[in-house]
Copies of this chain bind each other. A is one copy, B any other.
Amino acid sequence: MADSPPSLDPVQLGAYFALIEVASLLRHAVEQQLREAGDLSYVQFQLLARLGDAPSGSHRMTDLADGVVYSRSGLTYQAGLLEKAGLVVRGPSADDERSVTVTITGAGRALLGKVLPGHIEVVNSLLLEPLSRDQVEALAGLLTPVRDHMRATPPRSAAPRRRKDGA
């Protein structure tokens, strides 16, 4: 088994730092645009976008939380805000009595449509503009497997209490 190396080499470090910085800067810029264009936080936008993308326009709370990498309690709070603003509605789930289904409303879609152009504009000018078409493709090709890997890898702290794995 590979022992954990004492440090990362410059290239690895460069990739890691650049990734974090790019994400932070992009998020920051997008956040401002969304605030101005539609008084939405980034999380709220992400939630609306995910709902808008879903064929049914709805998702379970838990799936939303996992999707945007957010705490459950945080999602409850945000869902409450969005509901109060009339952008989504919460309702009981069909098959599972304890789960709550969040659905985007017409107003939600309208707002999403209103902020989207500016959002895309920011993403374009900050992230995409300095890259060629091939490079964007390459970037997606690199990050997508990484994301899948991360999604598949169980969180560190979840490990201790393993029930039935060959261990």
Contact = CB atoms under 8 A, between A and B. Distances in A.
A48 to B, nearest CB: 15
Copies in the complex: 2
In this complex, the interface size class of chain A, counting residues with CB under 8 Å from chain B, is 35 or more
Interface string A115-135: 011101111111111110001
B149 A126 contact: yes
B124 A150 contact: no
A143 B22 contact: yes
B120 A7 contact: yes
A110 interface: no
A54 interface: no
A147 B18 contact: yes
Contacts of A19: 19, 22-23, 26, 127, 139, 143
A145 interface: yes
A108 B69 CA distance: 30
Contact of A150 (B25, B138, B150): B25
Interface of A: 4-8, 11-12, 14-16, 18-29, 32-33, 36, 68-69, 116-118, 120-131, 135-140, 142-147, 149-151, 153, 155-157
15 contacts: A4-B118, A4-B120, A4-B121, A11-B140, A12-B123, A15-B127, A15-B128, A16-B123, A19-B22, A22-B143, A25-B150, A32-B155, A126-B153, A131-B145, A139-B142
